[in-house]
Structures are given as structure tokens and as C-alpha cells.
């Protein structure tokens, strides 16, 4: 087991700075999800860890082993870093059979043949690919290729395994299965896993800790999934991790109002929220007949496990998700009805700049 530490990593492609003084730690034996919008530098960070990109500054250590140190001119070549990786496009070698693919890392470690075979078969069992050992990747489905890639990443029992968007190309059901599979494999092996994705749903399902990256490559928040969801560090994380309603707040006289074209009073707005926007998640908007804030129901869509509402509050569109449990206890409302709203767990953020990232 080993932790992974990035310290003050700066990476440039030509004049374009991808990461600037970036620091992050993946704790030993945990699954950490690195989440951020496409193009924010997640994959670049992974490539630096693998030794495929050379940072300008900083250090990268795994456990007590220094892999990269710009100041001390240490740069362990990729093949000596012993990190398992599943690339986004699988990178399963098309001219090798499944078992050849999985055996390759062991072959490069010059293991005895019998051991290679035994360990390769063992890992193929874990990813449920034993029946396909002599297939070429061209004969496999995307999901099967992915599992070969995962097997190849796990076969050397690396302390650290990196999964770079490993399931984005799978269909929904297989995606679910693979997430559970990854979780179980991690528990068996106790490896440290760095899971990179732009999809916050799979991240939430999998992770022990989460790190959210902004578009500009800086770290927005690092914490448990609960931290991130309930106590988002800033507006970026709040918006990135889920869909929300935003309602501006203005002062008239001594009172604070929700500005929805018309001013709607809402008791309990904090004093310092003037001029800010109130962000509320879709499932944090609950129906409350006693609330003075009345909205009109435009439409209701039944989604199986929840109801999705479009409401009009003043001139503002409000979206609400109502769980089936709430629907049963509080009842549903239909198109054209008026309903009182209460906002749970509101967050107050400054207004967005004209051209947000």
C-alpha cells in the first residue's frame, strides 16, 4: 500500500499552462476520484504520474519512493514506475490475445513462465474473462476489452492503479456492474486507486475521497463525497456536482427578497446574502403548503424513481426533483396547480461573472 503525493506540479504544453503549482494527495488504500470538466488537466496529471509527461516543477512520490523531482532532476522512466493504468481507450494491444495482453507486464518483469500463466489466469478470473483467453481484442466487445485492460492493470499487484475514464464507453448497465467490480477488486487487493472522470455520478458511487478540479486546472475542493455534496467549497463545485436552481437576492428597504421578476419575500435569508444568488439543488426544493413562496406547476414528468417538475416562481423557472417517498407522503401536484415551496440547505454565492469558465 502506498499513498500518492503530487506537490507543486506545473505542466506546460508550449505556452499553454495546463497545471500550475498543483498539489494533491491520494491516501493509501483508498479510491480517490479526480473529477473535473473535460480539458481541465486531469489526464495530464495522470500522464505525469505515469511518466509520460514531464512537469516543469514539483515532485511526485508514491509511498516513500520519489518518482519525479524537478529540483533534484529525478525522473524515473515510465517502465520503472510500476503503476497500473487503464487508459480511456483501453489501449489493449490488437495483435495479442487476451492472455498475452494480461501476461505482458509480468513478462517484462522477467517472471518464470509458470508464475506468469498462473497470475494471468487468476486476474482474468477476477475480471470474468477466463472464457476468452485466446481471443484477439478485435473479437471482443468494448466492455470485454475494458475488462482485459483492467486485468492488465491489476496483474502486477501494483500499489497504485490509475483508471482514466475507464467506463465512459460502456452502456449504462455494464457501467454499473464495472463500478461494483472495481470496488470489489480494490477491497480484495487493497490497492490505492486514482479514478479520473468527468462524470460525477460514477465518482459518487465509487469513491472514498473526491477531488474537484476547475476548468483552469486548479483544485476546487478535496474531501469525502459527503463534504463535496453537502458543503461545497465554492460555486464551481456546487454547480459541477449537480444541477441546481439559482435565485438572485435583492434588498428593498430593510427586507431581503427573492428576485424573480417580482420580489418575493422569503423569511430566514441571512443578512450577508444581499446581492448574492441562492443556489438550491433540485431535490432540496420541497413542497410546503404553509410556505409564503408560491409557484405554479408547468409540467410534471414521472421518471421511475422520482418526479421531475418544472415550476414558475414569478418569472423564473424552477426545477424540482421529488423522490417517490416524498411523493407518497406529501402527494404530487399537477399542471396548473399552485404550490408553496421551501428551500432546504441553500448556498449563497456571488453572482457569476459575465463570461464564466
Q: 83 and 162 in contact (C-beta within 8 Å)?
A: yes
Q: How far apart are CA 233 and CA 168, in angstroms?
A: 27
Per DSSP, the residues of 156-196 read T--SEEEEESTTTTS-HHHHHHHHHHHHHHHHHH--EEEEE
The residues facing 322 across adjacent strands are 307
- Binding pattern for the stretch 39-58 against another protein, x by CB under 8 A and - elsewhere: -----------xxx------
Position among 21, 39, 56, 109 found at the interface with another protein (CB under 8 A): 109
List 5, 7, 10, 63, residue binding another protein (CB under 8 A):
63
C-alpha cell at 142: 468494448
Mark 207-246 with x for binding to another protein (rule: CB under 8 A) and - for no binding.
----------------------------------------
Q: Which residue in 13, 16, 19 sits closest to 216, CA to CA?
A: 19
Q: Does 95 bind another protein (CB under 8 A)?
A: yes
Q: Applying CB under 8 A, does 1 fall inside the site for another protein?
A: no
Which among 106, 9, 108 has a CA at the least distance from the CA of 49?
A: 9
Does position 93 interact with another protein (CB under 8 A)? The reply is yes
What is the Cα–Cα distance from 134 to 136, expressed in whole angstroms?
7
Binding mask 267-296 for another protein (x = CB under 8 A): ------------------------------
Closest distance of CB 101 from another protein, Å: 9
| Total of chain residues touching another protein, rule CB under 8 A | 36
Least Å from the CB of residue 214 to another protein: 26
Q: Give min distance, CB of 220 to another protein, in A.
A: 28
Residue bearing cell 466492455: 143
The residue range among 66-74, 219-227, 322-330, 331-339 that interacts with another protein, by the rule CB under 8 A, is 66-74
Q: Supply the minimum distance, in Å, between the C-beta of residue 20 and another protein.
A: 23
Does residue number 123 form part of the binding site for another protein (CB under 8 A)? no
Q: Measure the CA–CA gap between 211 and 222, rounded to whole angstroms.
A: 4
Partnered with residue 246 across adjacent β-strands are 279
Q: Does 72 participate in binding another protein (rule CB under 8 A)?
A: yes
87 is a site residue for another protein (CB under 8 A): yes
Residues 142-181 that bind another protein (CB under 8 A): 152, 156
Helix 113-126 vs helix 98-108: crossing angle, to nearest 10: 130
Select the residue interacting with another protein from 24, 66, 121, 327 (CB under 8 A).
66
Phi, psi of 304 (to 5 degrees): 95, -70
* Max CA pair span of the chain: 82
Among 76, 121, 204, 219, the residue binding another protein under the rule CB under 8 A is 76
Beta bridge partners of 88: none
Which residue ranges make up the site for another protein (CB under 8 A)? 50-52, 63-66, 69, 72-85, 87-89, 91, 93-95, 104-105, 108-109, 138, 152, 156
Amino acid at each position: 500500500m502506498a499513498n500518492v503525493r503530487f506537490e507543486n506540479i506545473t505542466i506546460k504544453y508550449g505556452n499553454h499552462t495546463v497545471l500550475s503549482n498543483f498539489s494533491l494527495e491520494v491516501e493509501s488504500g483508498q479510491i480517490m476520484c479526480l473529477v473535473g470538466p473535460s480539458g481541465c488537466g486531469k489526464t495530464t496529471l495522470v500522464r505525469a504520474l505515469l511518466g509520460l509527461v514531464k512537469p516543469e516543477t514539483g515532485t511526485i512520490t508514491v509511498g516513500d519512493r520519489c518518482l519525479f523531482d524537478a529540483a533534484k532532476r529525478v525522473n524515473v522512466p515510465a517502465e520503472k514506475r510500476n503503476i497500473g493504468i487503464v487508459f480511456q481507450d483501453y489501449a489493449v494491444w490488437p495483435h495479442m490475445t487476451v492472455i498475452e495482453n494480461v501476461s505482458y507486464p509480468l513478462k517484462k518483469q522477467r517472471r518464470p513462465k509458470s508464475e506468469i500463466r498462473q497470475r494471468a489466469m487468476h486476474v482474468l478470473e477476477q475480471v470474468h474473462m477466463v472464457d476468452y483467453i485466446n481471443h484477439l481484442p478485435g473479437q471482443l466487445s468494448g466492455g470485454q476489452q475494458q475488462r482485459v485492460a483492467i486485468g492488465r492493470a491489476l496483474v502486477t499487484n501494483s500499489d497504485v492503479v490509475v483508471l482514466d475514464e475507464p467506463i465512459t464507453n460502456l452502456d449504462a448497465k455494464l457501467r454499473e456492474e464495472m463500478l461494483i467490480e472495481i470496488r470489489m477488486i480494490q477491497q480484495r487487493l487493497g490497492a490505492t486507486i486514482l479514478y479520473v472522470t468527468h462524470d460525477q455520478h460514477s465518482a459518487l458511487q465509487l469513491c472514498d475521497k473526491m477531488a474537484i478540479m476547475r476548468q483552469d486546472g486548479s483544485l476546487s475542493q478535496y474531501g469525502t463525497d459527503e463534504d463535496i455534496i453537502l458543503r461545497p467549497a465554492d460555486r464551481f463545485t456546487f454547480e459541477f456536482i449537480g444541477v441546481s436552481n439559482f435565485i438572485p437576492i435583492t434588498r428593498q428597504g430593510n427586507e431581503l427578497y427573492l428576485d424573480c421578476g417580482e420580489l418575493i419575500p422569503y423569511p430566514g435569508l441571512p443578512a450577508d446574502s444581499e446581492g448574492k444568488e441562492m443556489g438550491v439543488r433540485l431535490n432540496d426544493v420541497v413542497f410546503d403548503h404553509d410556505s409564503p413562496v408560491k409557484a405554479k406547476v408547468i409540467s410534471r414528468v414521472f421518471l421511475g424513481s422520482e418526479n421531475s417538475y418544472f415550476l414558475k416562481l414569478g418569472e423564473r423557472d424552477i426545477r424540482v426533483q421529488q423522490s417517490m417517498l416524498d411523493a407518497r407522503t406529501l402527494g404530487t401536484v399537477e399542471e396548473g396547480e399552485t404550490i408553496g415551496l421551501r428551500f432546504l440547505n441553500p448556498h449563497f454565492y456571488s453572482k457569476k461573472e459575465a463570461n464564466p469558465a
